[in-house]
Amino acid sequence: MAQARAHSKYVKISPRKARLVADLIRGRKAHEASNILAFSNKKAGALLAKTLKSAVASAELEHGARPERLRVDEVRIDEGPTAKRSKSKCRGSSTPILKRSSHFTIVVSTEEDS
């Protein structure tokens, strides 16, 4: 079983929002996952599609795997660094604004013959 992985680091989206879309493609065939991400209305759909395309290309290049035989083994959305900002509020006070980022990891592998 050949495995290929792709990473996208410092992606400007909250991990919580990205995990909603990641749950849709976990365990599916690569071309099916690509279609799901293409028609997703969320920002994370386009960002994950780019990483999935990279993982499929790596599998083709490194292992000679055919794209129609690839399956999404693992999708991990890890928390990246958080940029801290503040917003002015009334009476001279302020409130923190947390701009979160994510690290994406997608692992694809060839399907086992039964």
The CATH number linked to 97 is 3.90.470.10
Structure confidence by residue, pLDDT tens digits, 54-99: 999 999 999 999 999 999 999 999 999 999 999 999 999 999 999 9
Record the tokens describing residue 57, joined without a space: 């290309």
Q: How many alpha carbons lie under 13 Å from residue 18 in its C-beta half-sphere?
A: 27
Q: What percent of the chain has pLDDT over 70?
A: 97
Looking at residue 113, what is its pLDDT? 41
State mean pLDDT over 102-113.
Answer: 88
- Residue 97's contacts (CB-CB under 8 Å, 6 or more residues apart) are 84, 85, 86, 87
For 43, the domain range is 3-110
Q: What is the mean pLDDT of residues 13-34?
A: 96
Domain count, the chain: 1
